Amino acid sequence: MFKKDFVWGVATAAYQIEGGAFEDGRGLSVWDTFCMEPGNVKFGHTGNFACDHYHRYKEDVALMKELGVKNYRFSVSWSRIIPDGVGEVNPKGIEFYNNLIDELLANGITPYMTLFHWDTPQALEDRGGWKNPDMSDWFAQYARVIGENFGDRVKNFMTINEPQSYLGGYNNRGGMPPKAGYEKRFMIPIIHNTLLAHGKAVIALRETVKDCKISYAPCGDYFYPLDENNSADIEAARKLTFRANDNFDGPHWNVAWYADPIFLGKYPEEHLAGYEQYLPKGWQDDLKIINQPLDFCAQNIYGGRPATTDKDGNPVIVPLKVGFSRMANGWGVVTPKAIKWAAIFLYERYKKPIFITENGMANNDTVTLDGKVHDPQRIDYLHRYIKALSQAADMGVDVGGYFQWSFMDNFEWAQGYNERFGMIWVDYETFERIPKDSAYWYKTVMETNGENL
């Protein structure tokens, strides 16, 4: 069962929904330039117009209200607020988010604001972006602008979204800007700068916003026990979840490397053995800044893999069954036990209320002859995951909130508009919105605090 004040919500991100990319003084972000280069994004799609939320935010907030949404996680486009990343603030950018925040509050919806969801200002990328040690100060200055302008009404913040995805995997595989193909020796200081940026942003927010709650929203490679009643399998899943994943593709999916410094004030010992040599000078002192007290532990969780032990008792990853269920985008992650065990393991380790800040399913949705969008697979996926999360709560985990990804179909990065994660179907030519069956279903879940599951 979920606690009485459980936070139910939906989530989006600026570049994925806003559009208005070249309007009202917004500066370019790395995603604008990435989309301009042919071959980077499927079918040459761009976020230039996206869902046109920039012009339709009132309609979107009205839909939220109609669908019973009480909490909305969205991100701010850094280059809309500060076009060059540092320096002059764009009043039109401030005005847009002021209007959005006021509209949300007028409709009884609490804003959960993410400061950075991957859209680095291009002007800063030109100066090295997250590789540049000054980035943490630039990010802190931006956080201060956010706090000073919105902190009278916004009280819930996440600093950075899925640094693992942004900095690591996709960069290395070329699916995200700046396609740097970083080697590990560069990755480690880049991650360190990012953690430091988080810490400095938390300080700036605390100084400018009274009574706020702050976290950051990483992701990870999660494992659950093959046999939930077998303590060896549980231990194997725990170990794998926090392991030093020391292959080249590894650090970006690493849970502990990205979260221990923030929540525990130290890099994990096991990992340091391999990575310490790459950390910048003075990293031990930086840990004090990185380790700011946080109010909750946010995580984006889509799935995980089963774990057991081999005959010598070592943890092993169990391959998914032949013909396993998968999402429309191919991810083999219809593995609801992952959310339950991730919540358990994260709570044990970091001892903070767990907020799932993203969870959802890509599906091949279409408008059927009756003019509706029926998405039973998504309902089934969400049902299984939310139920599994409630089991973690039953086992004593302080589960504080759940945000479905995503409120509406949107620009799925290098996959373009091909993959639909929304509970609202979007026509990308007319910008018509149609709530899918899952949106009405989720309304009943929120209304009953999950007790109808």
Q: Does 159 bind ligand NOJ (CB under 6 A)?
A: no
Nearer to ligand NOJ, 98 or 415 (CB): 415
Q: How far is the CB of 447 from ligand NOJ (least distance, A)?
A: 26
Contact 402, 385 (CB under 8 A): no
Q: Which is nearer to ligand NOJ, 222 or 275 (CB)?
A: 222
Count of chain residues binding ligand NOJ (CB under 6 A): 9
Quickly list DSSP for 353-369: -EEEEE----B-----T
Phi, psi for 356 (deg, rounded to 5)? -85, 110
392 binds ligand NOJ (CB under 6 A): no
Q: Choose between 122 and 300: whose C-beta lies nearer to ligand NOJ.
A: 300
- For position 162 contacting ligand NOJ by CB under 6 A, the verdict is yes
- Catalytic residue ranges: 162, 358
User: Residue 47: exposed, middle, or buried by beta-carbon count in 10 A (0-12, 13-18, 19+)?
Assistant: buried
Residue 70 burial (10 A CB sphere; 0-12, 13-18, 19+): middle
Q: 52 or 162: whose CB is closer to ligand NOJ?
A: 162
Residue 114 CA to residue 358 CA, distance in Å, equals: 12
Among residues 130, 222, 421, 442, the one that binds ligand NOJ under rule CB under 6 A: 421
Q: How far apart are CA 315 and CA 20, in angstroms?
A: 49
Which of 242, 403, 405, 442 is the binder for ligand NOJ (CB under 6 A)? 405
Give the residue, chosen from 2, 7, 9, 13, that forms a contact with ligand NOJ under the rule CB under 6 A: 13
452 contacts: CB under 8 Å, gap ≥ 6: 444, 445
Interaction between residue 300 and ligand NOJ (CB under 6 A): yes
342 interacts with ligand NOJ by CB under 6 A: no
Question: CB-based contacts of 373: which residues, under 8 Å, 6+ apart?
Answer: 365, 366, 367, 425, 434, 435, 436, 437
Terminal C-alpha separation, the chain: 10
Bond preceding residue 133 cis, omega within 30 of 0: no
Shortest distance in whole angstroms from residue 363 CB to ligand NOJ? 12
- Given the complex with ligand NOJ, which of 60 and 412 has the nearer CB atom? 412
Report the site for ligand NOJ in 81-100 (rule: CB under 6 A). Answer: none
| Minimum CB distance to ligand NOJ, residue 300 (Å) | 5
Residue ranges binding ligand NOJ (CB under 6 A): 13, 16, 161-162, 300, 358, 405, 412, 421
